[in-house]
Amino acid sequence: MVSVEFRGFTWRHAGRLAPAVADVDLRVEAGERVLLLGPSGSGKSTLLAALAGLLTADSGERHGEVLVDGRDAAERRGRVGLLFQDPETQLVMARSGDDVAFGLENQALPSDEIWPRVRGALEAVGFPHPPAHPTHALSGGEQQRLALAGVLARRPELILLDEPTANLDPEGAETVRAALKNALADTTATLIVVEHRVADILDLVDRVIALGPGGALLADGPAEAVFAEHGETLAAQGVWVPGIPLPTRPGAAAGAPRLRGESLSLTRPGADRPALEDVGFTVRAGELLAVTGPNGSGKTTLALLAGGLVEPTRGEATVPGDRTPLHRLPANRLAARVGSVFQDPEHQFVTATVRAELAFAPHAAGWPRERIDARVAELLERLRLEHLAEANPHTLSGGEARRLSVAGALAAAPGALLLDEPTFGQDRRTWGELVDLVAGIRDEGTAILAVTHDRDFVTALASREITLEAGAIRSERDLC
């Protein structure tokens, strides 16, 4: 077990004027299990990265101290295990067992100790496959359990979990939480976990620390006492406080069709079954069609085909009035018809500044400079990104990056918008802002197809829902 302490810690990312956190003073005693709360941009992930020794001098400017068991965190990396929200960033080997062994080999552990530890860690997290199972064939929940096994196999004395279930469907998230609970029962390590969905993680912790902007301390204590005294304030700050209802934004009657898919099918080379087969849909102006289903059911594949970003094996996606399949359109014409917002915002950023990112699609569509400048100014103000206009998109917080990805997809004024998991990993306040933003876009007449695991998002906005299973439509229903 190790203690953790921040003393006047300030960190400013390279290229940013304002610090991510400022003057943080915080102590976690050895063996404590702490839930770290706060809105997007409050610096939670920055604090975890600092404890893991990942904030290097060439990536930003630091003041103050970050101590793990009384010494600088950079000197204690071997005693710390960090699990990110996206397991794909941590899996490095082709076979599952080799991936868990990788960290042990880097620690120069004797070879006769490595594989007993690998097997023990895989068992602790309930990993359902043998060690030789290929990592590329794992579901999201299985990937995260494997990444957790890689952390636990090193037997860290400080375990850091950064939104470990944010990218998973409900079933996958539940299996990871069960794996965490089982694994933590066998260790006395100090634990700090960042998790927006508070109710899902409370049984793993004994202390709650809530942060405000810049890492300012809002509340600290047992969960029941913190939420009883500060629940409303924390909800307003963006924390998912249990028991506080969420807003809904029902839409008006839908208008004319804006996007249509007919018999969309895709079989990838070498696959033994289609990723998607004979899926059809119509999305009308002023409505949101939700596409739901478990991981691996074909939801993201449908979004890619519907947006013209992947050529289907069979079928086509079109917009009314233009029979040219979307996947055959040049980029400038496609951007003016359908905007796509990916699950990971950073995957679609292609320029060095927020302003340039917003100008990219209108420029590709051949808009004149005056019109581009007016559109960029409009979107900067509308999505509250003015103060970040010259910032690098890859330095934005999760909520800021999501707003920019939506703004970029809207920049060329398309008639239809595709959203892939638009609310994953967002705090409560940002979630509400995204719901308001999407509702406004819908109510202006845009047709929206949204892939999501978020039942609250579906309840708030959707008029219809398609549920996929194994690449086909399992059910379709009206929600109004």
- d(CA 443, CA 423) in angstroms, rounded, equals 19
Q: How many residues does the chain have?
A: 480
pLDDT given for residue 399 in this prediction: 77
Hunting for tokens 């020794």 — which residue is that? Answer: 53
CB 213 within 8 A of CB 20: no
N- to C-terminal Cα separation, the chain: 53
CB 319 within 8 A of CB 434: no
- d(CA 158, CA 336) in angstroms, rounded, equals 50
Residue pLDDT, tens place only, 433-461: 889 989 999 999 999 999 998 999 999 99
The closest alpha carbon to 100, from 149, 162, 34, belongs to 149
- d(CA 356, CA 104) in angstroms, rounded, equals 43
The closest alpha carbon to 336, from 350, 324, 345, 346, belongs to 324
Tokens, residue 428:
């409560």
Which residues does 301 contact at the CB level (< 8 Å), separation at least 6? 266, 275, 276, 310, 471
- d(CA 443, CA 253) in angstroms, rounded, equals 10
Residue pLDDT, tens place only, 199-228: 888 989 999 999 888 788 888 999 999 999
CB 306 within 8 A of CB 465: no
Which residue type sits at 78?
G
Hunting for tokens 């233009």 — which residue is that? Answer: 322
CATH architecture of 257-478: 3-Layer(aba) Sandwich (3.40)
How crowded is residue 318: how many other Cβ atoms within 10 Å of its Cβ? 19
- d(CA 289, CA 281) in angstroms, rounded, equals 9
- d(CA 95, CA 257) in angstroms, rounded, equals 46
- d(CA 50, CA 1) in angstroms, rounded, equals 18
Hunting for tokens 């509340």 — which residue is that? Answer: 219
pLDDT given for residue 174 in this prediction: 84
pLDDT given for residue 180 in this prediction: 86
Residue 204 Cα to chain centre, angstroms: 22
pLDDT given for residue 386 in this prediction: 93
- d(CA 402, CA 215) in angstroms, rounded, equals 21
- d(CA 425, CA 168) in angstroms, rounded, equals 10
68: enclosing H helix or E strand: strand 60-68
Lowest mean per-residue pLDDT among 65-74, 144-153, 238-247, 283-292: 238-247
For residue 425, pLDDT over 80 is answered with no
- d(CA 203, CA 181) in angstroms, rounded, equals 9
Domain boundaries of the chain, sorted by first residue = 4-237, 257-478
341: enclosing H helix or E strand: strand 338-341
For residue 346, pLDDT over 90 is answered with no
The closest alpha carbon to 97, from 118, 120, 123, 124, belongs to 118
For residue 294, pLDDT over 90 is answered with no
Using pLDDT thresholds of 50, 70 and 90, give the confidence band for residue 378: very high
Handedness of CA 85, 426, 392, 6 (dihedral sign): negative
Strand 338-341 to 158-162 pairing: unpaired
Q: Give the 3-state secondary structure of residue 75.
A: helix
Q: Give the 3-state secondary structure of residue 63.
A: strand
Query: How many C-alpha atoms does 441 have within 13 Å on its Cβ side?
Result: 30
How crowded is residue 22: how many other Cβ atoms within 10 Å of its Cβ? 18
pLDDT given for residue 26 in this prediction: 94
- d(CA 215, CA 237) in angstroms, rounded, equals 12
CATH assignment of 4-237, among 3.40.50.300, 3.40.50.620, 3.40.50.2300, 1.10.3720.10? 3.40.50.300
Residue pLDDT, tens place only, 20-34: 999 999 999 999 999
Using pLDDT thresholds of 50, 70 and 90, give the confidence band for residue 81: very high
pLDDT given for residue 383 in this prediction: 84
Strand 288-292 to 464-469 pairing: parallel
- d(CA 215, CA 42) in angstroms, rounded, equals 5
The closest alpha carbon to 40, from 333, 366, 384, 290, belongs to 384
Bridge partners (DSSP) of residue 5 are 27, 67
In this prediction, residues 237-260 reach a mean pLDDT of 90
Core vs surface per residue 411-446: b (16+ CB within 10 A) or e: bbebbbbbbbbbbbbbbbbbbbbbbebbbebbeeeb
With pLDDT > 70 as the criterion, what percentage of the chain qualifies?
A: 100
In this prediction, residues 357-375 reach a mean pLDDT of 93
For residue 85, pLDDT over 90 is answered with no
Using pLDDT thresholds of 50, 70 and 90, give the confidence band for residue 105: very high
Lowest mean per-residue pLDDT among 97-111, 118-132, 419-433, 451-465: 419-433
For residue 150, pLDDT over 90 is answered with yes
Using pLDDT thresholds of 50, 70 and 90, give the confidence band for residue 256: very high
Handedness of CA 460, 461, 464, 469 (dihedral sign): negative
The angle subtended at Cα 412 by Cα 410 and Cα 418, nearest 5°, is 40
